[in-house]
A and B are shown apart, each in its own frame.
Chain A
Amino acid sequence: MKHTFFRLALGLSAIALLAACGGGDDTTATTTEAPLAAVVPSGGSGSITGLVSYSGDDTDAEINMDADPVCASAHSDPVSTESVVASDGNLANVFVYLKEGVGGSHTVSSEAVLLDQTGCTYVPHISGIQVGQKLVIRNSDPTLHNVHALPEKNKEFNQGQPFQNMELEKSFDTAEVMVRLKCDVHPWMSAYIGVVDHPYFAVSGTDGSFSIEGLPAGDYVVEAWHETLGTRTQSVTVGDGAVTVSFDYDA
């Protein structure tokens, strides 16, 4: 996944930075704005990688986009909802984040998270963002959308994007897992964004895998969130290296 790869790259560059500093106290040294290396400034060398498994069926229904001819004509093949994306026993679109155990403050990534509206669907369907991090919402469609966020802790908003290639910038003030976004023009369109106050989160890919990098050593509670299948939590002790954590949605 592009996002994970990106974070991995940032994690590596952060490690390089730390190495250059002689491995000194890493939480205070990086408050200066580094445009690219901001994701894991307070991190360590630990990581959590794992798999989300689910043997149930991909239950998603086909979407009828006739309510807007532009949406219907954007797809030659049928489009399905993305509630349960599962294959070969692996579950995608699971938001995995550190729920407890993360201390200190964390520099907010200066890299924007992109939520695209294309083919009258949200891409990505599930994503994560830091508190205060910039969210860019783009309309790549030659039709109009309204972007309606339905948070409980953050501020609700509803803004229109009548034209193609319009962009909207937003950010969230408070940690909230998850914030739902929907389009009232196209009722099938929905997306979820996990808002957390640290950079330690990931979304499982179609192979069910996820990876959270650059963690300081410590004891954490990791939570997996799925749109319809609910949450699972596990306690994990992270040291210098990689710890493997698996979430089983059949259990």
Chain B
Amino acid sequence: MVHAESPRALHRFAVFLASCVIGLIAAGGLVKSLEAGLSVPDWPTSYGGLNPPRWWEIENVRAEHGHRLIAGTVALMTVALAIWAWRREPRRWVRRLAWGAGVAVLLQALLGGLTVLLFLPTAVSVSHAALAQLFLCMVVAFALVTSRGWRESIASPELAATGRDLQALASGTTVLVYAQILVGALVRHTGSGLAIPDFPLMFGRWWPPQFDFSITIHLIHRIGAVLVTVAVVTLLVRIARCSSRRGFVVPAVAMGLLLVAQVTLGATIIWSGRAVLPNTLHVPTGATLLAASLILTLRSWRAAAAAPASSRTVGEPAMVAA
């Protein structure tokens, strides 16, 4: 069975939307870094209207209201993506993925509004951060599976072997990065970013001398960073040894660079006493690392799922599990 192609423009639109979602996540990170989440007290209105007076001139209102405007735009774009996919995307599961992203972004808006109206309870704010990453993952996955490279993956024994080899490691890394982001969200929304005030030491030692909730989750986030580093380095070494395929090498190298940037930002947050810029950039950098890890993971699954080469002729497009 040969599938009709996803429109090229739909794929490009999805890539653009994914980059907008990263921008939206950065805007959300800025709101938290400025502690501006309650600077617009009402929702869905802003100071009783569509746009508060002089909102672009006032730092915190610009952050919070700007986040709402970007979010509204991304939500409309996602609904447009879903409608477009529904009409033109041949694979049913890909159409469902687009609808899933649409539902996720609407739920995400509700969580954002709810956390403002409830004065930022930790559970709601952390859920808002957690769903943001899942929404990003859906859009990234959609963009990936509508790409020409995905459709034209050539089944070969070498590729299938590499895919199987990478599958578990890449999947584990993606889950680990997501968990690390969740812990990071908990650190942010419980104000625990400086619970351990020094880096790389902790209270001048290699292990905190005392513990409370904030110190514990802060410590877990630091341990998480070590685990993610180990996972990413292992992944890089594995790919360097086993595959020169661009589809694996590019996201893996991106993950390495993003990891270095992310750890540097994390350290800078501590050293600067939570300066707004590193504290904000830490959020979209983590999201981009997750996206890169997801791309690598999905490609490894795709390669591994390719039917054994013996049953296919070289050059036949690999099939997608529907």
Contacts and interface: CB of A to CB of B under 8 A. Distances in A.
Contacts of B40: 146, 160
Interface stretch (B53-61, B167-175, B202-210): B53-61
A44 to B, nearest CB: 42
Interface of A: 67-70, 143-144, 146, 148, 156, 158-160, 162-163, 184-187
Contacts of A160: 40-42, 47-48, 52
Contact of B41 (A67, A68, A159): A159
Contacts of A163: 53
Given A158-B119, A159-B41, A162-B53, 15 more contacts: A69-B57, A143-B54, A143-B58, A144-B47, A144-B52, A144-B58, A148-B38, A148-B119, A160-B42, A160-B47, A162-B48, A163-B53, A184-B36, A184-B38, A185-B60
Interface in B23-77: 35-42, 47-49, 52-54, 57-61
A144 B54 contact: yes
Interface residues of B, number: 20
Contacts of A158: 38, 41, 119
15 contacts: A143-B53, A143-B54, A144-B52, A148-B38, A158-B38, A158-B41, A158-B119, A160-B42, A162-B53, A184-B35, A184-B37, A184-B39, A184-B41, A185-B60, A187-B60
A185 B54 contact: no
Contacts, number: 59
Interface of B: 35-42, 47-49, 52-54, 57-61, 119
A148 B47 contact: no
A190 to B, nearest CB: 13
B58 A67 contact: yes
Nearest to A156: B119
B54 A70 contact: yes
Contacts of A184: 35-39, 41, 60
A217 B19 CA distance: 73
A115 B265 CA distance: 42
Given A159-B41, A184-B36, A185-B39, A68 B48 contact: no
